[in-house]
């Protein structure tokens, strides 16, 4: 029955056309929370969705599938659809629905400090975890799982440095994204303005470089740190 999901999504995008692929859609235990992915191999178009998607309204799932399809097909002419709008609205509120299972005392304390100081305590705590010890991605926010992960490089970093990474990621949780058709902007001008309001913002870059320098990694220079975390 889920095969119809792909056909229906395609037909609504291209009412004049027959879908030129064989289709498959499945729910997978391997994907967390509301993650999903799409692949096209040998004319077989397949969508994997986490089990959580099973219970989601069909119109919203059609939007998910359409946005995956349009990205895969590199479609330039279709900017958005009603279903995609529904899907965007759904994922912007997802963090409210996700059960929080992951936490960690140091990150937990950082969350509470930052939430009190910069968000008047209004933000709901996301999942918090230490990520791999990587300098490619210092920290990230996954809105499909409502999880902030901070690179383990920062496990013993100064409070202020950790709090800045936490602040940046919490801004993502708060602002979500601005959809411009299929392209979403995560670091909007509003985001950057708020980011710069972090206390002693100008000192933070230097301090982060300090943390990275203490853990040199062969064969890699330091990238501009603003590109290193999302």
Q: Residues 77-82: contacts with CB within 8 Å, 24+ apart?
A: 78/13, 78/182, 79/181, 79/182, 80/179, 80/181, 80/182, 81/12, 81/13
Identify which of residues 109 and 175 has a Cβ nearer to Zn ion in the complex.
175
Identify which of residues 53 and 164 has a Cβ nearer to Zn ion in the complex.
164
Identify which of residues 24 and 131 has a Cβ nearer to Zn ion in the complex.
131
Q: Which residues of 33-57 are buried (b: 16+ CB within 10 A; e: fewer)?
A: bbbbebeeeeeebbbbbbebbeeee
For residue 155, the minimal CB distance to Zn ion (Å) is 20
For residue 195, the minimal CB distance to Zn ion (Å) is 8
| Contact (CB, 8 A) for 169 and 186 | no
Extract the tokens encoding 109.
Answer: 């304390």
For residue 79, the minimal CB distance to Zn ion (Å) is 24
Identify which of residues 39 and 132 has a Cβ nearer to Zn ion in the complex.
132
Distance of alpha carbon 143 from alpha carbon 126, whole angstroms: 9
Distance of alpha carbon 161 from alpha carbon 154, whole angstroms: 8
Distance of alpha carbon 148 from alpha carbon 114, whole angstroms: 13
Distance of alpha carbon 81 from alpha carbon 220, whole angstroms: 43
The residues that touch Zn ion, with contacts defined as CB under 5 A, are 230
For residue 165, the minimal CB distance to Zn ion (Å) is 10
For residue 52, the minimal CB distance to Zn ion (Å) is 24
Residue number of the CB atom closest to Zn ion: 230
Identify which of residues 8 and 195 has a Cβ nearer to Zn ion in the complex.
195
Identify which of residues 30 and 227 has a Cβ nearer to Zn ion in the complex.
227
CA neighbours closer than 13 Å in the CB half-sphere of residue 38? 16
For residue 215, the minimal CB distance to Zn ion (Å) is 22
Distance of alpha carbon 58 from alpha carbon 56, whole angstroms: 6
């Amino acid at each position: 029955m889920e095969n119809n999901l792909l056909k229906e999504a395609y037909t609504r995008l291209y009412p004049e056309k027959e879908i030129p692929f064989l289709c498959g859609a499945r729910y997978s235990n391997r994907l967390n929370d509301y993650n999903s992915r799409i692949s096209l191999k040998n004319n077989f178009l397949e969508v994997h969705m986490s089990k959580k998607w099973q219970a989601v309204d069909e119109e919203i799932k059609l939007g998910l599938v359409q946005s995956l399809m349009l990205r895969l097909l590199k479609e330039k002419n279709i900017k958005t659809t009603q279903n995609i709008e529904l899907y965007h609205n759904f994922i912007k509120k997802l963090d409210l629905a996700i059960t929080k299972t992951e936490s960690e005392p140091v990150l937990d304390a950082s969350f509470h400090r930052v939430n009190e100081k910069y968000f008047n305590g209004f933000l709901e705590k996301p999942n918090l975890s230490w990520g791999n010890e990587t300098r490619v991605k210092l920290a990230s926010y996954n809105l499909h799982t409502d999880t902030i992960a901070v690179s383990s490089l920062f496990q013993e970093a100064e409070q202020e440095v950790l709090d800045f990474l936490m602040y940046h990621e919490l801004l993502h949780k708060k602002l979500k994204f601005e959809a411009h058709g299929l392209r979403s902007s995560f670091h909007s001008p509003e985001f950057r303005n708020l980011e710069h309001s972090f206390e002693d913002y100008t000192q933070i870059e230097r301090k982060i470089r300090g943390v990275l320098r203490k853990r040199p990694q062969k064969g890699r220079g330091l990238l501009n740190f603003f590109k290193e975390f999302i």
